Amino acid sequence: MLKLRCVRCGHKVREAEYVSSCPQSGGLLITRASDQLRKGRGSGVWIWGSGLFTSFMTPKITLGEGNTPLIKSVKIGKSTGLTLYFKDETKNPSGSFIDRGSATLATALKYFKVRSVVVPSTGDLSISVSTYLRRARISSKAYVPSSVTLSKAYKTLLVSDKVKFVDSYEEALAKALRVELRLNEEALKSIKEKYDVLKLPLTPERVKMAYMPEGGEVIPNNVGTAPGCMVRSGETLIISLPGVPRELESMWESYVEPKLRQLGVRRVFAERSFIVSGVPESSAAKIVKEILRKYDNTYIKTHPKGHEISAPLLEVYVQVFSDDLSTAEETADEVLEELKKGLESVGGVITRSEVR
């Protein structure tokens, strides 16, 4: 079964617990799959229901998604010398691969008695999610761009309870938060300076990039033109960034991540490392995996230094996080000893060990 685990502190969330962030540190929750994935009864995505976070939830919301056909490639496969098949996901109920996720999402929302959902989307996501929410009898409200294709607009109107056509995600955000969309002078100044360098006029379309929800904070864009936006709603912090990958990455690393670290729980860590010879990395992996299952808030990395077969040599690095240094140090020492014993049991020889 998939488990939810916090990337900041390692806390594992109970399956029946409805949270959007870690209840202990407020960190981001990610899924971690179990080692054993068993094929079960049902069809489509539900064949693998035992490995899903929604496995115990009822009722299962489904429209017969999955089991889409494989179509053998004639030209591309032949030209590349491969036996190539294409999976035709347009045969899903809403015509999209997203239906698999929408089925499990609607199942979880129904289980947790959610009554309404807001879906911002460029088309396919709102169509798929709203389709499944309608089956689950959950109200949906979709925000889609005014520039969306006519066919996607029509489908969204058919399956969503309410649809709002907007010019930007910032406008969608403002409407969802029920605040005014206002011209942000700081954002406008930044945009104007960049177009002045290019000797280009500040057209209405470019000015539109400076509009943000009331109370929004500008996130500088050092790579592109459009700034990002950070806005608070109660205890929730909402971050909106441009979709261009290099712009998004730059803004995240230079501004958003440091900001989140300031707001988060401050934690300390202890480090250990040692060198072991005689154990290939592939053999050490099983031992590391077992120890990681036992200890939360622990990171272990093996760095190969020799030849995997003829002269295996590994540098093993351990990092343990905690709220206080003494606990981190104590746990790091325990992990270190278990690692050494495990590696020595398969023929490893410890040649160097150090506390960092």
Q: Which stretches of 80-126 are assigned E, i.e. beta strand?
A: 85-87, 116-120
How sure is the predictor about 3, in pLDDT bands with cuts at 50, 70 and 90?
Answer: low
Least confident range from 38-42, 96-100, 257-261: namely 38-42
| The pLDDT value given to residue 355 | 65
Please answer whether residues 208 and 191 qualify as being in contact, where contact means their C-beta atoms are separated by less than 8 angstroms.
no
Position 232 pLDDT exceeds 80? yes
Q: What is the pLDDT of residues 105-154, one digit of tens each?
A: 999 999 888 999 989 888 899 999 999 999 999 999 999 988 889 999 99
Mean of pLDDT values over 303-319: 83
CA dihedral 15, 17, 23, 27 (to 10 degrees): 50
Share of the chain above pLDDT 90, in %: 43
Q: What is the pLDDT of residues 236-295, one digit of tens each?
A: 888 988 877 889 888 988 898 888 777 765 567 788 999 999 998 888 988 998 998 888
| The pLDDT value given to residue 35 | 53
Please answer whether residues 129 and 140 qualify as being in contact, where contact means their C-beta atoms are separated by less than 8 angstroms.
yes
Mean of pLDDT values over 153-169: 91
Measured at the CA of 57, the angle between CA 56 and CA 58, to 5 degrees, comes to: 120
How sure is the predictor about 228, in pLDDT bands with cuts at 50, 70 and 90?
Answer: very high
Which token pair is 183?
A: 């011209």
- Residue 165's alpha-carbon distances to 2, 140, 176, 270, 297, in angstroms, are 36, 14, 12, 51, 44
Peptide bond into 59 cis (omega under 30): yes
Position 63 pLDDT exceeds 70? yes
Q: What are phi and psi of 80, to 5 degrees?
A: -100, -5
Which token pair is 260?
A: 């989140």
Q: What is the pLDDT of residues 278-308, one digit of tens each?
A: 998 888 988 998 998 888 878 888 888 877 6
How sure is the predictor about 218, in pLDDT bands with cuts at 50, 70 and 90?
Answer: very high
Are β-strands 139-145 and 162-166 bridged in parallel, bridged antiparallel, or unpaired? parallel
Rounded Cα gap, residues 95 and 52, in angstroms: 23
Grouping H, G, I as helix, E, B as strand and the rest as coil, residue 319 is: strand
Q: What are phi and psi of 345, to 5 degrees?
A: -70, -20
Share of the chain above pLDDT 70, in %: 92
| The pLDDT value given to residue 241 | 87
| The pLDDT value given to residue 11 | 77
Please name each of the domains of the chain with its CATH number. Answer: 60-166 (3.40.50.1100), 182-262 (3.40.980.10), 268-355 (3.30.70.2860)
Please answer whether residues 7 and 30 qualify as being in contact, where contact means their C-beta atoms are separated by less than 8 angstroms.
yes
